[in-house]
């Protein structure tokens, strides 16, 4: 019940935060556009009809990992707010551990931004490449969740909406962002390699799902003193 309340609170806060949306939406639009820039570069190379045939049999849809990485980086904004001085409310809540707050906030962020993004990207790719890539879409979705959880746990050292925008640590965030891009590229490489093995993608889905569930279970184990909160 408490987690559901945090979910609703986070969703409503994101909708009302003008500055947060100004920071987030350009990043998410860029995350949507970037994969298709690389895909269409291949599509429009030479004759269009030949390019369409060529692209349907290719693995260029793996460029979606670029968008996934960029969208995952945006989760670091969840701790920022114009109304950060109201974060004292967390101390008044009857919550023993902050895991409920962090988990509910991350779920709300995923449902509000990342799920719509990956859904539109997936539908566009299925239209371009055909239903053969549906298992690949499932794997990319699971890997997106894994990236989001990892980046959220490492980059977010504060409670949701408890820090001002001016306090963003650019150097640290840049280093973590490059690390996330590298990890996303590594996942794409494993995904690509799995396509050349019988049931490789299916096995990859199972392994990624298990890792994601394990990390989800342990990543929220933190105490109040480990989190920064501007009051």
How much is the pLDDT for 54? 76
How much is the pLDDT for 92? 63
229 falls in which pLDDT band (50, 70, 90)?
A: low
Is 121 within a domain? yes
Number of domains within the chain: 1
Q: What is the pLDDT of residues 34-56, one digit of tens each?
A: 998 888 887 777 676 776 777 78
Give the ranges where 46-169 is alpha helix by DSSP (H): 48-56, 64-73, 89-92, 99-109, 115-129, 134-155
Q: Rounded to whole angstroms, how far apart are CA atoms 27 and 47?
A: 32
How much is the pLDDT for 132? 92
- 70: domain range? 2-225
Q: Quick one: average pLDDT of 62-66?
A: 92
How much is the pLDDT for 185? 92
Whole-model pTM: value is 0.85
Is 14 within a domain? yes
Is 110 within a domain? yes
Is 150 within a domain? yes
Give the percent of the chain with pLDDT over 90.
31
Contact 127, 66 (CB under 8 A): no
Q: Does the pLDDT of residue 231 top 50, yes or no?
A: no
Is 231 within a domain? no
Residue 80 has phi, psi (to 5 degrees) of -95, 145
Is 213 within a domain? yes
Is 117 within a domain? yes
- Which range, 51-60, 170-179, 192-201, is most confident? 192-201
Tokens 């693995």 correspond to: 59
Q: Rounded to whole angstroms, how far apart are CA atoms 82 and 86?
A: 9
Q: How is residue 203 annotated by DSSP? A: H
Q: What is the pLDDT of residues 113-149, one digit of tens each?
A: 889 999 999 999 999 898 999 999 999 999 999 999 9
How much is the pLDDT for 58? 86
Average pLDDT, the chain: 82
Query: Quick one: CA dihedral 153, 155, 159, 161, positive or negative?
Result: negative
First-last CA distance in the chain = 26
| C-alpha closest to that of 181 among 140, 141, 147, 139 | 147
Q: Rounded to whole angstroms, how far apart are CA atoms 215 and 158?
A: 19
How much is the pLDDT for 227? 65
Is 230 within a domain? no
Q: Quick one: average pLDDT of 64-75?
A: 88
Q: Quick one: average pLDDT of 96-101?
A: 76
């Amino acid at each position: 019940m408490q987690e559901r309340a945090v979910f609703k609170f986070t969703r409503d806060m994101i909708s009302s935060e003008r500055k947060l949306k100004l920071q987030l939406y350009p990043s998410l639009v860029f995350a949507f556009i970037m994969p298709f820039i690389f895909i269409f570069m291949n599509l429009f190379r030479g004759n269009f009809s030949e390019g369409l045939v060529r692209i349907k049999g290719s693995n260029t849809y793996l460029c979606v990992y670029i968008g996934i990485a960029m969208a995952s980086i945006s989760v670091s904004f969840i701790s920022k707010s114009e109304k950060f001085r109201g974060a004292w409310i967390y101390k008044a809540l009857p919550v023993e551990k902050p895991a409920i707050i962090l988990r509910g906030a991350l779920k709300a962020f995923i449902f509000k931004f990342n799920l719509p993004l990956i859904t539109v990207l997936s539908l566009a790719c299925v239209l371009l490449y055909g239903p053969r890539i549906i298992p690949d879409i499932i794997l990319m979705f699971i890997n997106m969740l894994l990236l989001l959880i990892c980046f959220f746990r490492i980059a977010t050292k504060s409670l949701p909406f408890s820090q001002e925008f001016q306090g963003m640590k650019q150097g640290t965030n840049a280093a973590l962002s490059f690390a996330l891009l590298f990890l996303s590229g590594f996942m794409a490489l494993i995904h690509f390699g799995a396509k050349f093995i019988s049931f490789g993608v299916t096995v990859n889905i199972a392994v990624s799902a298990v890792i994601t569930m394990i990390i989800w279970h342990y990543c929220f184990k933190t105490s109040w003193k480990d989190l920064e909160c501007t009051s």
